[in-house]
Chain A
Amino acid sequence: MVKKTIHEINGRIRDGSVNVVTAEEMVHIVGELGAEDAAKEVDVVTTGTFGAMCSSGVWLNFGHSEPPIKMQKVFLNDVEAYTGVAAVDAFIGATQLSESLGMEYGGAHVIEDLIRGKSVHLHATSHGTDCYPRKVLDTTLSLEDMNQAIMMNPRNAYQKYNAATNGTKNTIHTYMGSLLPSFGNVTYSGAGVLSPLSNDPDYMTIGTGTRIFLGGAQGYIVGQGTQHSSGGGFGTLMVQGDLKHMSPDYIRAANFTGYGTSLYVGMGVPIPILNEQIAQATAVTDAGVTTKILDYGIPSRDRAAVRDVTYEELRSGSVDINGRDVPTSSLSSFKKSRIIASELKDWISKGEFFVSMPVERLPKDISAKPMKQTEGIALVSDIMAVNVVTISKDASVYDAAKTIMETAFNHLPVVSADNALVGVVTAWDISKAVSQNKFDLVEDIMTRKVITASADERVAVVARRMDQDSVSAMPVINKERHIIGMITSDDISKLYARRS
């Protein structure tokens, strides 16, 4: 039984005799020596990760103006920061978007600009009080003008993360990047073998107070991150560090097309090897970290898992989905993760960084709950019209016009002989045909690519599809493509009008 203390290890860091290795190197050491001898040999294992961590931001204290102001709305380079605390404190969040530039520029960019030494424009407004009379303020500030700039990330360094793919027929844009149609690619995030929490999945050394590498500076773990879900292996960390000491090498703003901005954060956690159990845990490999590939084409909380996968398979460049080789690529940088793990190793070897024991360990075996929703979720079946008038594809344009006039339905689903949906014809299509002097069959003037809905879909999801495809009505069909109803934008606006 090997038993070491933090005190002993810090003594070795102080006198320069400490043995530090990265989590990648530890795999081989445990492989050769076994966990017990590896625990005797190695004092600290360093980890590293560099990926998009949306849940990031910075607390800023601007100092008081003359006359003073109690800031109620604050904008930094036109990006709103949260100010519902005290007079001149604000939290700038990474994913908050610019009021004028939209998805091009966000809180993440403000944070990177500040680290790069650039000045940002501060605009603040207030209602004015006896103690804080000022109502409007405009000034330009750089990082050194602020009293504090404390990075605070409520949910970072996921233990592992779901990989993403897309089973729909269109490219979709997500925070996991562009996902090509029909399972065209897979994207993933996380450092696998180097991932901080995957190297200490029982949180033996990681918890409140653990000193870490954050953005190129020393930072600390505050405690469990929000949505910490340790039961399923999805632990997260809340961390903090001093932005004034951080480097743009490790904090980088990002844009995801169609999603918005995010912040790439570099983080490294040292794991003191106190016993062979901890040594064994740090020997985890890419093959030892399993996650799921989810279909992000399903716009729901409950996305279908396409399959289980290890980080080793993901990193190989392709994975098998339904017998096809699908290319994979990472959104986080493994190269940077390696650089972080070695930089942290360097700091410790040179006696510049000391390890710490947590004052409180992270909670184990808890799981994040989905949202409790007190208002019922409206389904298509709740609001669709069930009396649907259809027309045969062999009917004449004249018949279609007559049917539309008689029933006052603007959209006529077109059906084949066996009653399956084959198209849709609208009053507009008929007007167009008539204006061109075309009096053919319905089949010749109908739209063949029909946007449809199914009865068990959520109305909010269907409404988004209507908006994206610029249609105002959709036939509701079953698996046999038989029409069982019709849902229109009118039905949806009535539903929401009732609620407010």
Chain B
Amino acid sequence: MKIKINISSDILTKPIMAESILETGVLLNISQAHFDRSQGEVVADVDEDKFDLMCKSLTNKGARVTKLNTPIKWDENECVECSACISVCPTKVFSLDDDFSLVVDESKCIQCGTCVDMCPHNALSLGKNNR
């Protein structure tokens, strides 16, 4: 499953992710990371049954952990299958099959929302995530 880890500026320089990995022995597969002066944001994959363990460890160190469990919602009735979403998606959620129908692989979605802005027909939307 995908999770988002937010790290505030006061603990940004501490190796809290590395500490959590060592402490719990749970592996994190980082798929996206963004850091600036105000905060850090990391999207990672973690085994579902290890989530609680990892979440507790990271939260104890001051990070905020969000489950990315409501991926992009595709409204097929609004969609005209233009494919505008394909070129802006960083994780290749969207593709066209042989007959130019849009294929949506929700499991790849990291909920960045870039495609929502791009879609000319309001066929894509993001729901709320659970903490």
Tell me, in angstroms, the Cα distance from A184 to B118 when the chains sit together: 14
Tell me whether A262 and B120 are in contact (CB under 8 A).
yes
CB-CB < 8 A to A332: which residues of B? Answer: 82
Range, interface on chain A: 20 to 34
CB-CB < 8 A to A173: which residues of B? Answer: 117
Q: Known contacts A333-B81, A334-B100, A335-B81: does B86 contact A255 (CB below 8 Å)?
A: no
Q: Label chain B's interface by main secondary structure.
A: loop
CB proximity of B108 to chain A, nearest CB, Å:
14
Interface residues of B in 113-131 (CB under 8 A from A): 114, 117-118, 120-122
Q: Known contacts A185-B87, A327-B86: does B122 contact A255 (CB below 8 Å)?
A: yes
* Interface bits A145-178 vs B (CB < 8 Å: 1, else 0): 0000000000000000000000000000100011
Tell me whether A50 and B88 are in contact (CB under 8 A).
no
Residue among A184, A252, A329, A330 with most chain B CB within 10 A: A329
CB-CB < 8 A to B80: which residues of A? Answer: 50, 252, 264, 333, 336
CB-CB < 8 A to A335: which residues of B? Answer: 81, 99-101
B83 on the A face (CB < 8 A): yes
Interface residues of B in 70-84 (CB under 8 A from A): 80-84
Q: Label chain A's interface by main secondary structure.
A: strand
Tell me, in angstroms, the Cα distance from A210 to B114 when the chains sit together: 42
Tell me whether A254 and B120 are in contact (CB under 8 A).
yes
Tell me whether B82 and A257 are in contact (CB under 8 A).
no
Range, interface on chain B: 10 to 19
Q: How many A-B residue contacts, CB cutoff 8 Å?
A: 67
Residue among B84, B88, B99 with most chain A CB within 10 A: B84
Tell me whether A329 and B83 are in contact (CB under 8 A).
yes
Tell me whether A329 and B100 are in contact (CB under 8 A).
no
Tell me, in angstroms, the Cα distance from A256 to B87 when the chains sit together: 15
Tell me, in angstroms, the Cα distance from A333 to B121 when the chains sit together: 12
Q: Known contacts A254-B121, A256-B120, A257-B117: does B84 contact A177 (CB below 8 Å)?
A: yes
CB-CB < 8 A to B114: which residues of A? Answer: 178
B85 on the A face (CB < 8 A): yes
CB-CB < 8 A to B85: which residues of A? Answer: 329
Tell me whether A177 and B83 are in contact (CB under 8 A).
no
Tell me, in angstroms, the Cα distance from A256 to B99 when the chains sit together: 26
Tell me whether B117 and A331 are in contact (CB under 8 A).
no
Find B84's partner among A184, A187, A336 (CB 8 Å cutoff): A187
* Interface bits A436-478 vs B (CB < 8 Å: 1, else 0): 0000000000000000000000000000000000000000000
A338 on the B face (CB < 8 A): yes
Q: Known contacts A185-B87, A187-B87: does B120 contact A331 (CB below 8 Å)?
A: yes
Tell me, in angstroms, the Cα distance from A200 to B100 when the chains sit together: 25
CB proximity of A423 to chain B, nearest CB, Å:
16
Chain B interface residues (CB < 8 Å from chain A): 80-88, 99-101, 114, 117-118, 120-122
User: A254-B120, A255-B120, A335-B101 are known contacts; what are 6 more A-B pairs with Cβ within 8 Å?
Assistant: A173-B117, A187-B84, A255-B122, A330-B84, A331-B82, A336-B80
What are 8 A-to-B residue pairs whose CB atoms are below 8 Å? A51-B82, A173-B117, A254-B120, A264-B80, A330-B83, A334-B100, A336-B80, A338-B100
